[in-house]
Every structure is written in C-alpha cells, then in structure tokens.
Amino acid sequence: MTLSDQIDRLMMKVKKPVHYVGGEFGSVMKDPAAVDVRYAFLFPDTYDVGMSHLGMKILYHTINKRDDAWCERVFSPWVDMEQQMRENGIPLFSLESRTPVREFDILGITLQYEMSYSNILSALDLSGMPLRASDRKEGPFVVCGGPCAYNPEPLAPFVDFFVLGDGEVSTHEYIDVYKEWKASGRPREDYLKMISGIQGVYVPSFYDVTYNDDHTIRDVAPKPGTNAPSLVMKALVNDLTAADYPEQLIVPYGEIVHNRIMLEIFRGCTRGCRFCQAGMIYRPVRERSMDKLLELAQRLVDATGYDEISLMSLSSGDYSCLPDLAKEMVRRFYEKRVSISLPSQRIDTFLTETLKETQKVKKTGLTLAPEAGTQRLRDVINKGVTESDLLRSVRDAFEQGWSAVKLYFMLGLPTETDEDALGIVDLAAKVRDVYFSIPKSQRAPGFRITVSASVFVPKPFTPFQWCGQCSHEVIERRQQMIKREISRLKGVDFKYHAMDLSYLEACFALGDRRMADVLERAFRLGCRFDGWNDQFNYNAWMQAFADTGVDPDFYATRNKRRDERLPWDHLDAGVSKDFLLREWDKAQRAELTHDCRKGCVGCGLKRYEGACR
C-alpha cells in the first residue's frame, strides 16, 4: 500500500479530512524528476489558518514560477490526525505530492506567532528529523522567516538558518546557492557558509553567545572562520509594484479563516506606534501602483471566482490612492457582485467616500483600533489619534449604514493606570451614544459594539522592548473591572484574552537561546497548538520552566537596562537602537513623534540603499 493510500485511510477517522486531501484548484503540480530543488513550505498551524496567510501565497507563487524548483505546502495536522499518523507510522507529508517532508531539499517555516513554536518541534519530530540542527546530518535544511524571526534565539538550536525581512528576493538567492552547493558535493556546513553572506540570512550556529553573572547577555559574536557578519541586515524589496505577486490562488474545498482575494496594497507603516513591531520591522512604506492592483484584481477574480477582495496593509486608509482605487474596483466588479473590504483602517483617516463605495455590493465588517482608553495613554504609545477622530469615524460609518463596529484595545500598556483602563468603557459608551444620536429613520438596525482587549506583549525592535509585561494580578483585575462596567451598556460586548497565554508569548518574544530548552521540554510534555484555548496547557509550560531551571519572569516581566545587550542586538531590522531609545524616552513623557511622511524622524532606515525615497 502506498503512502497516499495509507493517508486516505486515515482521513476516514478524523474530523476535517478536507485539510489533508490536496489537489485543490490552483495548486501547482510538477514532475519531481524535472526539478532540481524541492521546497516544503510549512505553516505551523492548521490548514484553515495557514491557507489564509498572504505571505505563504506570495512565496508559493514566486518559487513555483521557477522551472527548476517546486514548492509544496505542509500544515500542522490537528491533534486527531497527528495521533492517527503516529499510531500508524505515517510521517508528515506535503499536500501536493504527499511526499514525506524529510525527503525535501529545503523546509521553509513561517514564524507568525510565538505560540506556534511547539508545533514546529512537533512537525520536525513527526517528519522523523532530529529536533536539533546539530544532530541533522542529512535531510532538508530548515529555514525560518516572518516577523518572529527578528528574535530567532529561542528557536536557534532547531533551525539551520533564518531570513530576516522581505522574502521575494532572498528566497531565490538561497535556492540558487543550494543548487550550486548540491552540485559541488561539498559538506553540509559549507552550504551555510555559502549563504551567510546573503543579505538577511542569519546562521545561528555560526555565533557564540556569552552571558554575564546576572544572566543577561554579554555578547553574541561570529565564530572564527565562518565569515558570518557581526550585524545581519534585513532583506529589503524596494519596488513593490515590480515584486512577484500571485496571479492565481489555490481555492480550498472547504471554509478557511479568510476565504477571499487578498491584495497587498502597500507594505510598511510610517505612523510610529510604539507598541507595534510590524510598524517598525516592515519599514519603509512601499506602495503598489493603482494600475498594478487593478490588473492583479482582475486576474484573481477571473482565476478564482471569489466574491470579495480585501485591500491589505497595516493601515489601508493611508494608501495614497485609496478613494480612487476603491471607486474603480467597485465599478469594475459591481456586476459580478464582488465586494471590497478594508480590514485595517486608521480612525483619523477621512473614510466617508471610501466606505460609501465599498458598501455598494455588500457591507463588510468595520474594525477600528483606538488601542488605549485615554488620550494620555494614546500619546504614550504614539497612536496619534484623538477621541474626536474616533467619534467622527464611527459617525461616518453609522450614517453610511453600518450598525456593528469592533473596537480593539490593549491592556497593560506601559504607564497604564486603572483610569486608563476604565477609559475603554467610557469610549465605548460614547460610540454607543453616537449611534443613538442619529435619527431612528436614518440608522441601520442591528446595533452592536464589540470591545476587544488583548494583553500587551512587549516586542523586539520596538521602543517598548525595554519594558516588562504587566503582572497577572494587575491585568486580571483590570479585565474584571472593565467587564463589570461594560455590562451596564446595552448592545456592547466585551472580549478579552487570557493572561497566561500572553505571558508565555512575552517569554518567547523577549527570550534568548535558553528558552530553547524550555520549548523542547514543553514539547516532550505534550504541548501543541498553544494558540488554541482548548489545547493550551499552562501548567505543562510552567513544569517545563521548572524542569529546565529557567525563570519566566526574567524574560516576561523584568524591565531591561538601557545599556543591556538584548538577545537580538546582532540583528538589524532597519530602525536603529538609538531611535528606539529616543522613542522610549518620549513615551515616558507622553510626547508624540510625527508621521515620517511629514519629515524624516531619523529612524535609521537611510542606512539601507534606496529605502527612503
């Protein structure tokens, strides 16, 4: 019986067999004998989550444009499928050809969320590969990229190399070098030496880490003879219009989280929110031209039959041609009943006309992110919006026919007080009042406000990287305080995140290589799918910390000294440490920094050729 036949038999025993079928419309099939490099792309979560990720679609497309390479998809099997696979000796496999992952040349893994790390170890183990890179003498090279790769240290012992920054070019560069290395017959380590000079490539085994007596890092330095750079600069694509973008998408058989066309209208953000890692690491802003976006939209609608186009970016309202783009897209696709959605909107952007255009086909969800409940705290985080901005935006929306709005906040931001937390309730009440101030005959029925409050997690390469996370006690008390007060507002719901999960996320976000032992121990204790509430086992994680002698508070809640060597200081995300320190100081004084489109703020990106034009 073939491996494919065995997989088919297993699918009769699991809840969502459609996740493991493959063969969807738009998936790429090639003759494995006709390609030089086979690339397995692992999204370390379920199929329906991974298939909604734009970065995976982009890299799948750009690799498969090559005649000499074949990229296939791999996802973490859900717990029922993993159990069946282990009981029946079935290794982790690709969807396209159902080839065991260990038979590929390169295994690429995207790091979108720290709480997927245990799934990465599970995937390596299920593939029959040693967990530690130093123990792997054959099989695929393991490469990781994505936003979490900007602090790769907790995963460093398990990964052959990381790629920082935009992957559209660097992926091709290390694939080209792989072909050269494979043909040469040179030792495995030589491939890593050959790619260590590629911009954005970081080979952790080429660096020694030393520690001070207080457990902080003394230094991270290249090993002699490796020729590894002392500072790894991120890879950067300056011309987004010319960059590869999918013109065909895989259309899943079943429902996924975001079952629609996603158009990345621009990359980066210049607003400078101090809590936002994405706003720092994806700098500078690079827009796709309106003509290119319209061309891509037409091709993707024709190729997929989707009835929704989502205009993706960190802040879609900042796209310079947004009103014209939305109007033209609605005009082109109105008869096909294709709707246009704006998933990420600044509340200080005048969106009335754009909202009016995008609701002509179908009213999509409206989400706004004040982030903090008071103006003082919004100034601390450099949000750059006011209460009047929010109330004007929701009035625009309500007058254009919206009746349901989601408001996103964070709890535990630096300098936050109980008064700041209660400001969330006050702001929700004012939004509610705006809806009911509109004459009944002019407002849409079905009023609902959803207030969502996540727990702030300090991230590398942000001004808050020196700040410890709030304690469990403070966060949980404020959550209950808000819940009690908001329950008095009819039509307003309150949702909040579990503190235990955010605490562990902070440990990995701010952690160093010693966190790798904790991760491996937690995996051995059965931790999987930690981002899923019904699977997360906090007690097992605390046991892993105890077993390895690592103090989680050292990473999560400890404030760092200004002169402390941070685990990621040998990496460069574009923004300089001096700039981040200046912003940290300004945050503590609640001083604003203007959008750099209005004038350079000296963030350090000018060190990158062609980055700031």
Q: Delimit the domains of the chain by residue range.
A: 3-233, 261-497+575-598
Q: Kindly report the average pLDDT of the chain as a whole number.
A: 93
Quote the pLDDT of residue 539: 98
Quote the pLDDT of residue 268: 93
Class of domain 3-233: alpha beta
pLDDT over 80 (residue 365) = no
Mean pLDDT, residues 372-384? 96
Interval 463-498: pLDDT, tens: 999 999 999 999 999 999 999 999 999 999 999 998
Quote the pLDDT of residue 314: 87
Structure token digits, residue 68: 């000499």
Structure token digits, residue 298: 């037409």
Quote the pLDDT of residue 1: 82
Mean pLDDT, residues 207-222? 97
Rounded Cα distance, 107 and 99, in Å: 12
* Backbone angles phi and psi of 251, in degrees to 5: -105, 110
> What is the pLDDT confidence band of residue 199, given thresholds at 50, 70 and 90?
very high
Closest CA to 329 of 611, 566, 337: 337
**For every residue of 331-369, which 3-state class applies, written as one string?**
HHHCCCCCEEECCCECCCCCCHHHHHHHCCCCCCCCEEE
- What does DSSP assign to residue 149? G
Domain with residues 261-497+575-598, CATH architecture? Alpha-Beta Horseshoe (3.80)
Q: Provide the 3-class DSSP secondary structure of residue 233.
A: strand
Rounded Cα distance, 172 and 175, in Å: 5
> What is the pLDDT confidence band of residue 334, given thresholds at 50, 70 and 90?
confident
Per this entry, what is the length of the chain?
613
Quote the pLDDT of residue 241: 95
Quote the pLDDT of residue 359: 56
Quote the pLDDT of residue 487: 96
pLDDT over 90 (residue 110) = yes
Enclosing H/E stretch for 340: strand 339-341
pLDDT over 60 (residue 360) = no
> What is the pLDDT confidence band of residue 345, given thresholds at 50, 70 and 90?
low
Cα 467 to Cα 209, 487, 556, 581: the distances in Å are 23, 32, 9, 11
Rounded Cα distance, 357 and 326, in Å: 7
Residue partners of 89: CB distance under 8 A and separation at least 6: none
Mean pLDDT, residues 271-299? 95
Do you find a cis peptide bond into 252, omega within 30 degrees of 0? no
The answer, as to whether pTM is greater than 0.85, is yes
- 213, burial (CB in 10 Å: exposed 0-12, middle 13-18, buried 19+): exposed
Q: Do 336 and 301 form a contact (C-beta atoms < 8 A)? A: yes
- Fold equal for 3-233 and 261-497+575-598: no
Quote the pLDDT of residue 347: 58
Quote the pLDDT of residue 36: 97
pLDDT over 70 (residue 114) = yes
Quote the pLDDT of residue 252: 93
Interval 139-190: pLDDT, tens: 999 999 999 999 999 999 999 999 999 999 999 999 999 999 999 999 999 9
| Residue position matching structure tokens 């701010």 | 510
* Backbone angles phi and psi of 440, in degrees to 5: -55, -35
Mean pLDDT, residues 535-561? 98
Closest CA to 68 of 179, 160, 188: 179
Quote the pLDDT of residue 340: 86
- Give the amino acid at 560: K
pLDDT over 70 (residue 272) = yes
pLDDT over 90 (residue 284) = yes
Neighbours of 314 (CB within 10 A): 19
Find residue 451's DSSP bridge partners. Answer: 407, 494
Quote the pLDDT of residue 349: 55
Closest CA to 363 of 299, 295, 446, 442: 446
Q: Are strands 161-163 and 201-202 parallel, antiparallel or unpaired?
A: antiparallel
Q: Which residue has the higher pLDDT, 376 or 611?
A: 376
Q: Report the phi/psi class of residue 53: left, alpha or beta, with left for phi > 0 and alpha for psi in -120 to 50.
A: beta
Rounded Cα distance, 428 and 421, in Å: 12
In b/e form, how buried is each residue of 385-418, taking b as 16+ CB within 10 angstroms?
A: bebebbbbbbbbbbbbebbbbbbebbbbbbebee
Mean pLDDT, residues 234-254? 94
Interval 255-267: pLDDT, tens: 898 889 999 999 9
- Considering 362-366, 368-372, 411-415, the range whose residues carry the highest mean pLDDT is 411-415
* Helices 472-486 and 418-437, axial angle in degrees (round to 10): 30
